[in-house]
Structure 1
Amino acid sequence: MIECAHFEAGRCRSCSLIPVPRVEQVADKGAHVRTLLEPFGSPEWLEPFVGPEAGFRNKAKMVAGGTVDSPTLGILTPDGDGVDLRDCPLYTPRMHAALEVLAGFVTLARLVPYDLATRRGELKHVLVTEAPSGGLMVRFVLRSTEPVLRIRKHLATLLARLDEAGSTAEVVSVNLQPEHKAVLEGPDEVVLHGETLTMQVNEVGLHLRPQSFFQTNTEVAAGLYRAARDWVAEHAGDARRVWDLYCGVGGFALHLAAPGRRTTGVEVSAEAIVSARTTATELGLSGLEFVTADATTWALAQDDAPDLVVVNPPRRGIGADLAGWLERSGTPYVLYSSCNAQTLARDLAAMPSLRPVRAQLLDMFPQTGHYEALVLLVR
């Protein structure tokens, strides 16, 4: 079990399963997903993929609180007071050091934390993504552009201090979120330094731009993509046309690229599609196409079905329209990566012709009840 002073003091209870031994956490998650999938067949269940129980998060989504001279980066209490979580054990020591630098930068650049009660202040969140190399993407979520000049003025100092702390800021940007509502970020991004953060996952250097989605746990994400590649090679190695729906920055599509195979990735985020194309070009991969579109709308507009469809939807699942299309399509293989087994089970019920033949739990989110499940469906 990990030790967390914030949990023990009752300041943060986000990791609700900290008192539960890791082996028990994984067993309970395994039992949960097996029960949900039991009505749909008897797939081969592989051993759960388990990464580290601490220091695994590559993203820090920190709410800014406190004052400009004594800022907090973490969460807010119900009363709106800041709880500082710079030393959260889910982050690496390198991330801890970077967050210390960023807290100091809040003071240096006079980025006044936003106050929910008075609706005053500018800095709402500090979002940090850490690559295995030590590279960072740092994003300041602001109410307006008012502090941008001050951030630019002190940017060289920030880059130097992060470097001294053992990290390299590959991207620094400002995200604008002017509205007073519980939304993490807004649609507009001002990039101040760099362009993309490279996340090395297996042999693929995935490029991340601001507003691009990537899995929270790099080691488990690498295991997820390896499993997809191996399962497809074993069960659907002859697939010549592949769709990767909800492709994000192209993790599945890039790992499944093969000579003679045409793979199309579809993602609603234009930034993520630019990232995927950049990685494909850098790796010199052919037969890959990435399209900016809603996955369901795009699929339903196609004239025919591919040999394999990969889906990696958000927690809401793929929904009735796409599940119904897959059921009618005749596509022989579907590889479903799910972060919510309840919506996975609902979607499987809408695709009775596609039966699970292999499944695996991946413990993407230790210390919580959440997990990733990978299921291979065969018609």
Structure 2
Amino acid sequence: MKKKDIIEFEVDKMEFGGTSVSMLGNREIHMKGGITGQKIKAAVKRTRSGKADVKMVELLEKSPMETEETCPHFNQCGGCSILSIPYETQLEIKEKQVMDLFLKQDLFGFEFMGIEGSPETTLYRNKMEYTFGDEMKDGPLTLGMHKKGRHIDIVTVDGCVLVDQDFIKVLTSTVEYFNEKQLPYYRGINHKGYLRHLVVRKGVNTKELMVNIVTSSQVDFDMTEYKNMLLNLETESEIVSILHTINDGLADAVNCDELRVLHGRDYIQEEILGLKFKISPFSFFQTNTKGAEKLYTIAREFVGDHEDKVVFDLYSGTGTIGQVMAGAAKKVYGIEIIEEAVVAANQNAKLNGLTNCEFIAGDVAKTVKNLKHKPDLIIVDPPRPGIHKDAVRDISKFGSKEIIYISCNPKTLVLDLVEFRNYGYEVDKVKCMDMFPNTPHTETVVKLTKVR
């Protein structure tokens, strides 16, 4: 077997995060995607001793597990890679994958409480970030998601089942409007063009909608007509915010050089577990609102009675989890590196009448050293790369009896748990919360107890 060879095989084991490992002869075949039982044609990208990395070229035969109806874009866009699998089976797969990661690191002897399903398995996303482009070279303007395995081609996902009709209406009307205007989309190859992204955010419980059109500064275009077109759409939620973000950065990401408010305000509000939160265009907020309510309820149950305790909420974002805990806590300190998120967190605490919350901007590894109070309880909710080793050491030095670790990436979670074990913390309880139905991802909540 050598590079560029075309091979055929049956997918064996699905691993967490959307990859698979199969055997062909005496060689391990590693591939992005794949569902157990599928028959695949793939191209070899790289070979190593006893292993090969391949890219799917063609699905020859579906898996016996794939019995559910899918959307029109399934196998085109890279979003819902397991939409074809019944939801109960999805939960079983994720539960086993997470447990395998724990066992691989010799983490056992704890109470495993299984996986909690999402309250909604479709129409659950409260945020979508769409990209302008075309589906084929010199084709009509498209607006949507990158095609699976392609860096350039964009498919307009107007049949997506993860979002409700408000998202679809804004998406389709936007691409139709700018098609008529014949404005060029931004090309990453030469950094020329105007239209870059469309970001839609929704307050699921408050019925508030934000539309953020992201462009370069290369064309001087009046957005008044576009704003009026959006306001005339018959959406279920009220459009309370229409924004125009100018982004001349080279990266294919939504960054802000200038923010213009075309209509309303520069935020929407959401309510979770009786608390109100301002969500700005660039602040992090869980993308599954109903799922977030369940996730934070699990965390609160893991914490138990925390009256008169000092709580550290590390990687606090806009302060959701810290404020959920604040009602029964003596004091909550939140630390977050993104200053805008910290400003929003302090505003949210004020909005909710919480006088015992203080959110601080800074790097967790450095900032925890400067806090005067000792925590009785620490909550960590880090980004996908997990916690830096130095931060694990500094967090452990506080000697908190309990740590609640909320993770969106169990691969880095288990590595961090091994580090915490080196400082005397053992895993007490574990429960998964499926925040991302029909995708290969899940959240995991872990309770750590200091034993030595």
TM-score (norm 1): 0.90
Is 1:290 matched up with 2:342? no
Q: In the alignment, is the contact (CA less than 8 A) between 1:98 and 1:167 conserved in 2?
A: no
- Judge which range, 11-20 or 277-286, deviates more: 11-20
Task: Pick the aligned partner of 1:46 from 94, 113, 122.
Answer: 113
Q: Residues 85 and 156 (structure 1 numbering): CA distance in 2 closer, same or farther, change over 3 Å?
A: closer
Specify the SS of the correspondent of 1:175: strand
Structure-1 separation of matches of 2:292 and 2:92: 20
Q: In the alignment, is the contact (CA less than 8 A) between 1:171 and 1:196 conserved in 2?
A: yes
Q: Structure 2: any 5+ residue segments left out of the alignment?
A: 1-67
Aligned to 2:50: none
Task: Determine which structure has the larger helix proportion and give its number.
Answer: 1
Task: Pick the aligned partner of 2:249 from 175, 179, 187.
Answer: 179
Where in structure 1 do 4 or more consecutive aligned residues deviate above 4 Å?
67-70, 107-111
Task: Pick the aligned partner of 2:193 from 114, 117, 121.
Answer: 121
Structure-2 separation of matches of 1:31 and 1:342: 13
Q: Residues 143 and 20 (structure 1 numbering): CA distance in 2 closer, same or farther, change over 3 Å?
A: same
Q: Superposed, which structure 2 residues align to 1:1-379 within 5 Å? A: 1-7=68-74, 10-38=75-103, 39-51=106-118, 52-66=120-134, 70-77=140-147, 78=150, 80-107=152-179, 111-132=183-204, 133-144=206-217, 146-147=219-220, 150-151=222-223, 153-154=224-225, 156-162=227-233, 164-182=234-252, 184-192=253-261, 193=263, 194-232=265-303, 234=304, 236-238=305-307, 240-258=309-327, 261-303=330-372, 305-352=374-421, 353-379=424-450
Bigger Cα Rg = 2
Instruction: Give the Å deviation of 1:2.
Output: 4.5
Identify which of structures 1 and 2 has the higher relative contact order when contacts are C-alpha pairs closer than 8 Å and 6+ apart. Answer: 1
Instruction: Give the Å deviation of 1:279.
Output: 1.8
Specify the SS of the correspondent of 2:210: strand
Letter in 2 for 1:75: M
The number of equivalent residue pairs is: 371
Q: In the alignment, is the contact (CA less than 8 A) between 1:304 and 1:329 conserved in 2?
A: no
- Judge which range, 308-317 or 187-196, deviates more: 187-196
Structure-2 separation of matches of 1:227 and 1:220: 11
Q: Residues 2 and 280 (structure 1 numbering): CA distance in 2 closer, same or farther, change over 3 Å?
A: farther
Q: In the alignment, is the contact (CA less than 8 A) between 2:311 and 2:331 conserved in 1?
A: yes
Structure-2 separation of matches of 1:304 and 1:285: 19
Q: In the alignment, is the contact (CA less than 8 A) between 1:267 and 1:292 conserved in 2?
A: yes
Q: In the alignment, is the contact (CA less than 8 A) between 1:254 and 1:280 conserved in 2?
A: yes
Instruction: Give the Å deviation of 1:258.
Output: 2.4
Per-residue CA distance 1:225-260 (angstroms, 9 max, x = gap):
11222322x2x5245211111111111011001256
CA RMSD, aligned part only?
2.4
Q: Structure 1: any 5+ residue segments left out of the alignment?
A: none
Q: Residues 170 and 273 (structure 1 numbering): CA distance in 2 closer, same or farther, change over 3 Å?
A: farther
TM-score (norm 2): 0.76
Percent sequence identity is 28
Q: In the alignment, is the contact (CA less than 8 A) between 2:78 and 2:146 conserved in 1?
A: no
Q: Residues 159 and 54 (structure 1 numbering): CA distance in 2 closer, same or farther, change over 3 Å?
A: same
Letter in 1 for 2:167: M
